[in-house]
Structure 1
Amino acid sequence: MEGKECRDCGQVKPAAEFWKRKASEDGLALYCKECFGLRNAASGRKRAAAQGRVMRPYRRWSAVPEGMKYCPRCQETKAVSEFGRNRAGRSGLGSYCKPCWTIVVAENKRRNHGSERNYLLKLRYGVTADEVDAQLRSQSGVCVICLRAAAKHVDHDHMTGLFRALLCFRCNGALGQYDDDPWRMRESADYLEGRSSHSRAMMLELGVVVIDGHARRLVRRLPRQGTARDDHLRERYGLGEAEVENLKRVQRGYCAICRDRAAEHVDHDHVTGAVRGVLCGGCNTGMGQLDDDPVSLRRAADYVQGRLIMRLPAADGGVRFSFTWPDVDPATVPVDGWEPYRAADGAHRRLLLEWEGRMEEQPGLRFAVSLSTRCRREVLMPGAQAVFPRLVAAAVSR
């Protein structure tokens, strides 16, 4: 059959313009596709009106020109380039144009999750905005590692995906540079204090722990004497290219801290200008983000091991956080009032590491370290709180 007359519009149209219908003698529907769509739309809108719903005006899908697509939200026909990709769709394109898609997604997030922030927190870290705000109040708004900056960034364990705490930008970035490795953080603290294995190697090989090239920086006033790299090293660190290579030789070509990656970056004290060693990118950047501070480095090491933040009984019968030694309720300390507690905590952690280093030589120290840990973690022996401050004071006076 070449054509057929539609009962509604009365036009004779090709057979391709009719749907198939087995009940008909010719196997085609009684109405053309366009009139069939109008009948279905009228029936559907009649049912919707009876239910109190309002549907959009009917629009025939095939009326859209080739290379164009209709957006149901802005009700405009646009070029297919204005639509994002969607492999699940029959056409391979999104249902809405790109501007409308952004609005629809934001509306869905607010409707289903309360806010876009809440949606992202649940997606990335598995916590809600209310839980993050509660954690921030428990920390009294301060970063639990450095105790100096406001906590604004959510930190999580990259292995387990579990939420840990809120940190400042620099501390959060430093953990990533160190790959959450507590050994590298503690080794960096010893490196800064001149007590690491690299410091001993420097003393044995060169007779000094650090190289003070400050006086030789005057070479910047003289004409260039070597390669561009040699002049740059002399201007910035007071060491020539050959001296840096000799420093790498002392380190066997590896980072002075982790001793696992290639030594690429000259590290120096930003106050005195003395060169300490040659580090890999991660150790050099991570140490810089923690302001070359041994206290923050040791606190960060304990943090990634789950030994920094403790839950203790609160005065109101609930639970509060504690992340310093001696213990102090974070709610009682302003954001800029942590410096005394930070200094005492740093001395305590350094003293514990010294004890642990001598435990093999003096087994009696094992009891002292265990006792300090019990007083810190479980608060079982209040009397000991009066003993350990004297030990901390002795460590600070060294």
Structure 2
Amino acid sequence: MLITGENRESPAPGTALLLAAAPAGKGRLIDAASVLPALAAVPADVLAGTAGAAAATVIELADPLDPQTVLTRIRAAAASPGPLHLYLAGQLHVDRKQRQLHLALARTAPATMRYTALPWHWLAGELKTRRPGTTTVVLDLVADTEAWQQVTGGRLLLGDGTRMYGRIAPARGRRTVVAPVHLKAVAAIWRSGARPPLAHLHEQAAAQAASEDAPDGAVLFGITPAHAPSHGPGHPVPHPSGHTTGPVHGYVTVPGPRSATAPVGGPTPVAADPHPAILAAARAGRHDEAAAAAAACENEALRAHGPGSVQVLHWLEVRADLARLAQDPARSCELWMSAADVRLGRQQTADDPDVEAAVDRAHHQWEQIRDAARARQLAPALVALRQRVPGRQRGALQLLQRRLEQLHGPRAGTTPSAPAR
């Protein structure tokens, strides 16, 4: 779809290509297409990197079947003179004969890899023809064992003129299907109304994704610690989040609580991002410290932007997730309910994915509460929210009411039974 009017004096249109693909059936390692609704809700000019200054074209490819068709769409997008942002969610494999990296498509199988998957060098070849600095690739990929060796060995190259952000994680096994957590975090940040610089955006997304997902040794792209030793082109280097990060041309980052990010050659720094330090404190078990830092950030946002602002809402949700990490489900439930109330107060609809997510998380945390009295205390507010926001899980309100009846039953004690599933 083409978004904008016609203005011959405007800058060249930007293009965003959203490619989410994974094999159907047992070969699927990532639910790639699940991120497309969240990305599609982001304004087109934000996805395309034009920020309202020019036209924006968004192309969406959901579980495509044919690599030639995908190549044709990539080639057409790469031919545009304006900025190109390519978002890739999927999984990487190596073909048996030539040992080359491929991005799997919907019909990809190990025996037919060379004919049913997109060779990575096809993508690199199309992007190399573009003017340096006009191309940004955002990755959220899973790699099988052989592909992971190539990724960590520096074989994932797209050319010096292409900026790369995001993450590639090793597969967790044939039966484990993961979510594209990094791209979902990027979409959530943008949908909140925030527009941080790209390097800053992806630091925040990496921190949020890490709080949603167990550490998996992922390689992160988009920030290179300035003090880190060189590992050669394409090789990962340590990152303060506990993951690793691959180099990206054009940006450097000084990590730590007083870090600043700026374009190479430009002296203007960006304000320090508190998320990595807060997450590090939480993961180290310093939960009170992490909660206090997040509360301070929320208070600062409240003074700067006012109650009900997206900035305050963001830190409220960060605090809710920190309570989850601290294994305080009652507090987490309470904060997620507050976040849902704020979103509804901002005139977001009951079927808005962010509203549904807040209520779902509050419900999930409530189910983890082992103090029956505390669970009963929070239940009325949660039931009221569930009545307004039934969510997409069928029977969620009925499940909530059923467990509440159990809590009020004669055997209800300080340690209620596990919730019905």
TM-score using structure 2 length: 0.23
TM-score normalised by length of structure 1 = 0.24
